[in-house]
Amino acid sequence: MLSVLRLFKVLVHSTFFYPSKIRLRFPHERSNLNVAKCDHKKSHSKVQIKSGAMFSSPDLLTANDTPGVHANSYYAATANRQTDFPQLKGEVACDVCVIGGGYTGLSAALHLSARGYDVVLLEANRVGWGASGRNGGQVGPGQRVGQESLERRHGKAHARALWDLSLDSMNLLRSLIHDYQIDCDFTPGLVEAVHRKDWVEDARDHIEHLRLVYGYDKLEFLDQDGIRACVNSPAYFGGTINHGSGHLHPLNLALGLAGGAERHGTRIFEMSRVQSYEQGDTVTIKLDGGTVRAKYLVMGCNGYLGALDGETARHTMPINNFIVATEPFSESEAENLIASRRAVADTKFVINYFRLSADRRLLFGGGETYGYKFPEDIKSFVRKPMLEVFPQLKDVRLDYGWGGSLAITTKRMPYLARVAPNVYSASGYSGHGVAMATLAGQLCAEAIDGTAGRFDVFDKIRLPAFPGGANFRYPLLVLAMTWFAMRDRLGI
């Protein structure tokens, strides 16, 4: 058994960076994943595996969803508006073409059009249709990888710059919500719940490190009694509260950003799927029913990139995410479950993340599948990890269950790159993209406008591509996630 575990470890760590065991993680689009034949009903790791998933590449824009229709989620049912932007037909010219109607693309379009650029945004389905409209809604400072790990890997100066950008992302999010009057139910407070007793003191050390090195004083330590007072679950031994973090309604945020971009003159086209593009002094973007010619191109496609750009595809990996929404609780029931309506994420690699909605439903994300097709019964699939955390909810009705795709990278850091001098790509937020993707769109806008300093902080990370590129990244991911799920299961 030990020799098998060592083999897994050697192979996995040669490809995937595994950060220090305690690190603050604020999932927004939280990941989920599929692997080689294994019945998830017999596995305690909650990693679903399907044969044939390693090498097949179905079209993620159509594989699990109806084109042009939002997922049947709690978010879609409570959206502030329904969009009906026109479909692009014919030939259009602009200064900047943006592909993708999620946080990255909408933020890039908003900030570019606010600076006076003529912007065309192309969305294959509806604004906020992808991960930006389906995710866990949790936001907070820091990167997907802990600061201690970033310091070891990139040096203290670069790690500090990445930390500062994470604070910028939170400030940007708050200012956009305020300036554009986006009604997205932002609620402060995020708890990280430690699932292993021997990790509790690491949480305390992490708080002290951020306080001493970064001057961050918004973290509060929780012992076992403290975590139980915050989260009524037997699954955790301690944790932290980040008072500088929070949670929101992700689809309504995306819709609000679209309204801001539209206000500044961005021309938004829905049901306008890009088939290919050609580089050059003028970038030519080809759709089934039309063509866009632009001086610059920004791609913000994340988990739905497909084969549009080979360089980005070699550096990012689409994975799936699943969430359920319960029936509403009474005020006292909700407060007894999660105090003060804080969001919660735990320290498992196959992470559980959950929060209460504005109408007091539990929104719970958990379980991971690696591959493309969603489970046939998402509610049942997510109910299993939900009951491990909250066994008292065994008789609670689940009203919604949905999935979506996001993108990860080998080192779990965002992939921001100049694919060509006038072509920018931003993807791979690895489950930490509500604020970070919004910032990435602004950084692309700054770079196009001639100020690339903040963009280059991410660009110079030089993330390695998945070995073998897009064709062989799935077997490696299968190996990696089998290892990490085994760690969760065995407590190693």
* Structural domain for 214, as ranges: 2-490
For residue 486, the model assigns a pLDDT of 63
- What pLDDT was estimated at residue 317? 87
- At residue 466, the pLDDT reads 86
Q: Which amino acid is at 249?
A: H
d(CA 310, CA 403): 25
Q: State how far the alpha carbon of 221 is from the alpha carbons of 144, 227, 342, in Å.
A: 20, 9, 15
Residue 109 to residue 103: CA distance in whole angstroms: 10
Give me the residues of the chain with pLDDT under 50, please.
1-56
Residue pLDDT, tens place only, 174-221: 999 999 999 999 999 999 999 999 999 999 999 999 999 999 999 999
Per DSSP, the residues of 360-426 read S-EEEE--EE-SSSPPS-HHHHHHHHHHHH-GGGTTPPEEEEEEEEEEE-TTSS-EEEEEETTEEEE
Distance between CA atoms of residues 29 and 320, nearest Å:
9
The number of folded domains in the chain is 1
Structure tokens at 456: 């280059």
Cβ atoms of 134 and 29 closer than 8 Å: yes
Give residue 82's pLDDT: 96
Mean pLDDT estimate for the chain: 88
**How much is the pLDDT for 350?**
81
Q: CATH number for the domain including 260?
A: 3.50.50.60
pLDDT at position 61, please? Answer: 92
* Whether the model pTM is above 0.85: yes
